[in-house]
């Protein structure tokens, strides 16, 4: 039996975070969310393969048994593996793990390491956006086999939003809704991509680039130094170091030479675009132009103050999570015409 993801409706062009303050939790999890003791979350690992390249898939959900839960699939960006980006455990802090946060709300939360990242195999490939779409198709086959569900809500961060958006273009029947964070459409006027274009000759000499403590520190300070806690870059560096000191170049090359990679006219599901105040990956004009072309009536564009490029690891992650939660848990629209009959 297939289970549809909860519906939502929103018509405004630009909504503020305050509009997301009243949150609608799934009824089955409202009591658990109010409990002072956080419910236990269970983690599971799976594997699939792409032409002999092993790909790691990761899942978290409430440990307590229950009915089939709505699937939420998180797609990582260019420089982090999935567990670092979406399941970072920070001592004496709450809600750095997006996976735990949404699992405790009653979602069946999945992610994966794309080719060349984290637990997945390294290869001679670039692991660009098209490769990421192939990875997601294989991962969704695992989701279907394990859960019986054929559709998921997708969240993508930075180049992960390009992977998720391109997947929704290619496999619209598998996407119930789409959340695009730190998204870029054409790249026109992007301060970050203008600087990255200067690196193209070096990027094209190899399929990988080096990442180290200085690199990760720069990720958290390039747009706004105060958007993340000072210790986060060190925690990210330690988390990534066990996988090696390189990540693939494909998404960097694609983002500077191949944009646009997502067609808004072919996104026929509800879409939320999240944009940080200080994020230099795209201009407001670029994102608003993309938003204006989205055909589905349920669409939101939320720009949030105090956030930079990696919002889920920032000091204002609570505002980010609140906006996304409100979108994903919005009740379905009522068909007034059908109700009047």
> Residue 59 pairs with which residues in a beta bridge?
44, 110
For residue 146, pLDDT beyond 70: yes
Query: pTM for this structure?
Result: 0.89
Q: Is the pLDDT at 32 greater than 60, yes or no? A: no
Q: What is the pLDDT of residues 109-143, one digit of tens each?
A: 999 999 999 999 999 999 999 999 999 999 999 99
Higher pLDDT, 129 or 25: 129
**pLDDT of 16 above 60:** no
pLDDT in tens, 49-87: 999 999 999 999 999 988 899 999 999 999 999 999 999
Q: Enumerate residues 6+ apart whose C-beta is below 8 A from 236.
A: 80, 84, 88, 216, 219, 313
Terminal alpha carbon distance of the chain: 30
Percent of the chain residues topping a pLDDT of 90:
83
The predicted-structure confidence for 285-339, as pLDDT tens digits, reads as follows: 999 999 999 999 999 999 999 999 999 999 999 999 999 999 999 999 888 876 6
Contact 45, 120 (CB under 8 A): no
Distance of CA 207 to the CA centre of its chain: 24
Banded pLDDT at 99 (limits 50, 70, 90): very high
What is the model's pLDDT at position 65?
Answer: 86
- Classify residue 69 by its DSSP letter: P
Chain-wide mean pLDDT for the chain?
A: 90
For residue 179, count CB atoms less than 10 angstroms from its CB and return exposed for 0-12, middle for 13-18, buried for 19 or more.
Answer: buried
Token reading at 213: 């403590």
Reported as a pLDDT band with limits 50, 70 and 90, residue 20 is: very low
156-205 confidence digits (pLDDT tens): 999 999 999 999 999 999 999 999 999 999 999 999 999 999 999 999 99
* Residues sharing a CB contact under 8 Å with residue 103, sequence separation 6 or more, in sequence order: 41, 60, 61, 62, 109
| Superfamily (CATH) of domain 17-332 | Alpha/Beta hydrolase fold, catalytic domain (3.40.50.1820)
Q: Residue 35 above 80 pLDDT?
A: no
Portion of the chain with pLDDT greater than 70, in percent = 88
- Give me the phi and psi of 217, to 5 degrees please: -60, -40
Q: What is the pLDDT of residue 225?
A: 79
Helices 232-241 and 213-221 pack at an angle, to 10 degrees, of 140
| pLDDT surpasses 80 at 15 | no
Which of 11-20, 138-147, 188-197, 235-244 shows the lowest per-residue confidence on average (mean pLDDT)?
11-20
Residue 239, pLDDT > 80, answer: yes
Question: Which one, of 280, 62, 265, 86, lies nearest residue 183 by Cα?
Answer: 280
Q: Quick check: 2 pLDDT over 90?
A: no
């Amino acid at each position: 039996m297939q289970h549809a993801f909860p519906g939502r409706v929103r018509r405004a062009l630009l909504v503020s975070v305050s509009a997301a303050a009243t949150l609608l939790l799934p009824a089955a999890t409202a009591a658990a969310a109010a409990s002072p003791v956080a419910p236990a979350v269970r983690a599971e690992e799976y594997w699939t393969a792409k032409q002999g390249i092993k790909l790691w898939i990761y899942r978290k959900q409430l440990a307590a048994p229950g009915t089939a839960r709505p699937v939420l699939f998180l797609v990582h960006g260019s420089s982090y593996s999935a567990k670092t980006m979406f399941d970072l455990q920070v001592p004496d802090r709450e809600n750095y793990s997006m996976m735990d946060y949404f699992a405790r709300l009653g979602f069946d939360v999945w992610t994966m390491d794309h080719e060349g990242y984290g637990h997945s195999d390294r290869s001679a490939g670039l692991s660009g956006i098209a490769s990421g779409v192939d990875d997601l198709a294989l991962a969704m086959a695992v989701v279907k086999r394990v859960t019986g569900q054929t559709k998921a809500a997708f969240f993508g961060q930075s180049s992960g939003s390009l992977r998720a958006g391109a997947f929704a273009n290619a496999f619209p029947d598998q996407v119930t809704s789409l959340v695009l964070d730190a998204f870029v459409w054409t790249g026109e006027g992007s301060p970050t991509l203008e600087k990255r274009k200067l690196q193209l000759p070096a990027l094209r000499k190899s399929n990988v680039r080096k990442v180290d403590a200085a690199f990760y520190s720069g990720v958290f300070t390039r747009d706004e130094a105060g958007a993340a806690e000072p210790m986060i870059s060190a925690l990210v560096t330690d988390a990534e170091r066990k996988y090696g000191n390189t990540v693939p170049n494909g998404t960097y090359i694609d983002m500077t030479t191949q944009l646009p990679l997502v067609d808004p006219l072919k996104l026929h599901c509800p879409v939320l675009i999240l944009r940080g105040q200080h994020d230099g990956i795209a201009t407001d004009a670029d994102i608003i132009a993309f938003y204006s072309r989205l055909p589905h009536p349920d669409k939101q564009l939320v720009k949030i103050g105090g956030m930079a490029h990696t919002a889920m690891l920032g000091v204002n992650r609570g505002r980010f999570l609140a906006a996304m939660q409100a979108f994903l848990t919005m009740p379905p629209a009522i068909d007034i015409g059908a109700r009047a009959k």
